[in-house]
């Protein structure tokens, strides 16, 4: 039977307080519920014993607390990356990745089941679109990683559990295609009384959904923005990213300029390096000319393999030369992205909502 109750993870603390008040219950209990959800990381209302019986009864009657089941888990040989195949309430599956860097844990979360954008080198795009995720289904992924950190216990010399500090909306799906749910989830995850992930540590990655970029600027959303570019001419970009036909390159760049001017903030541009295709010196000059004058940083990402695309990763001397041209000729800062989890298909473009080996 389909779940008809509202997910507690779909609600902000203020929304939960308002619902308690509508039921004639004190809204002050929202703070304790919030603490149970985002500090204690409970999995059910039964694990909230300090609440008055009437409040617990109301929560059990009107709300659900979905905890995605782990259908599969993979550990990378790099020792820093874990990928989780999570089963949602309707049987659909998504992938979430935990990446350990020096001094921090980063969660890479999905925003849709599948993706409608169709990027040819992306396993999620090859899968096609199935449905949007609800805010709580996005939040639940971050909570899953936080539970892992709690399970590690309190480290020697520390006084509290390690907290999840970094979030990237770069998993399965296009975040700006599911705008309302994604922004609700971000608001919940940023709340100081919850996981309290700082806006400066949240990055949203888009293929270039122009109306969404403009809306981010108009609403002054405080997270970082990463735009997947991968080609610096309209024709080449459309060949790699079908969505570029809907939002042509000139429209995208106008939206990016608007975003930068409106928010006085830089944009990260993502460039997947494909050997012999977009990792050449000529391509570096074309990209530099395109981004000239923008407050931008380029993330160079050696292509990660997928079964549906035959390209090879651009790396080594070509990648270094590409980076050198951006710096010396155009003053563009860039980084060559450290590859993580490629052996378990946990890298950028590899998530497909299926166990390893089933792609």
β 296-302/224-228 pair status: unpaired
Report H helices in 106-169: 123-127, 135-151
Q: Is 61 a catalytic residue?
A: no
Considering the candidates 108, 122, 256, 348, report the single residue annotated as catalytic.
Answer: 348
Cβ–Cβ under 8 Å, residues 90 and 347? no
Helices of type H across 50-122: 53-62
In whole angstroms, give the CA distance from residue 148 to residue 167. Answer: 15
Bridge pairing between strands 112-114 and 93-101: unpaired
Residue 158: strand, helix, or coil: coil
The active-site residue out of 41, 95, 122, 174 is 95
Task: Look at phi and psi of residue 320 and say left if phi exceeds 0, alpha if psi is from -120 to 50, else beta.
Answer: alpha
8 Å CB contact between 226 and 268? yes
Q: Please indicate whether residue 256 is annotated as part of the active site.
A: no
Tokens read off for 86: 């999570």
Active centre residues (catalytic): 95, 348
């Amino acid at each position: 039977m389909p779940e008809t109750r509202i997910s507690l993870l779909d609600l902000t603390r203020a929304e939960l307080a308002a619902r308690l008040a509508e039921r004639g219950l004190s809204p002050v209990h929202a703070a304790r519920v919030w603490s149970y959800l985002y500090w204690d990381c409970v999995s059910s209302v039964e694990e909230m014993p300090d609440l008055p019986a009437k409040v617990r009864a109301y929560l059990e009657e009107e709300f659900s607390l979905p905890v995605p089941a782990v259908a599969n888990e993979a550990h990378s040989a790099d020792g820093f990356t874990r990928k989780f195949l999570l089963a949602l309430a309707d049987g659909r599956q998504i992938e979430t990745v935990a990446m350990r860097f020096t001094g921090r844990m980063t969660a890479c979360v999905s925003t849709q089941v599948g993706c409608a954008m169709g990027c040819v080198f992306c396993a999620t795009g090859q899968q096609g679109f199935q449905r949007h995720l609800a805010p709580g289904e996005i939040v639940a992924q971050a909570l899953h990683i936080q539970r892992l950190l709690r399970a590690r216990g309190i480290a020697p010399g520390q006084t509290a559990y390690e907290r999840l500090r970094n979030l990237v909306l770069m998993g399965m799906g296009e975040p700006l295609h599911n705008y309302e749910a994604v922004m609700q989830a971000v608001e919940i995850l940023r709340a100081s009384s919850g996981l309290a992930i700082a806006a400066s540590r949240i990055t949203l990655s888009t293929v270039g959904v122009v109306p969404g970029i403009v809306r981010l600027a108009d609403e002054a959303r405080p997270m970082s923005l990463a735009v997947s570019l991968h080609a610096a001419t309209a024709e080449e970009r459309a060949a790699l990213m079908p969505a570029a036909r809907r939002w042509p390159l000139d429209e995208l760049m106008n939206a990016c300029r608007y975003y930068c001017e409106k928010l006085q903030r830089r944009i990260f541009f993502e460039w997947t390096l494909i050997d012999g295709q977009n990792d050449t010196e000529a391509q570096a000059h074309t990209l530099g000319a395109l981004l000239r004058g923008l407050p931008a940083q380029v993330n160079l990402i050696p292509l990660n393999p997928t079964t549906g695309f035959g390209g090879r990763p651009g790396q080594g001397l070509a990648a270094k030369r590409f980076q050198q041209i951006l710096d010396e000729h155009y003053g563009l800062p860039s980084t060559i992205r450290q590859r993580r989890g490629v052996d378990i298909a946990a890298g950028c473009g590899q998530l497909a909502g299926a166990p390893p080996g089933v792609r």
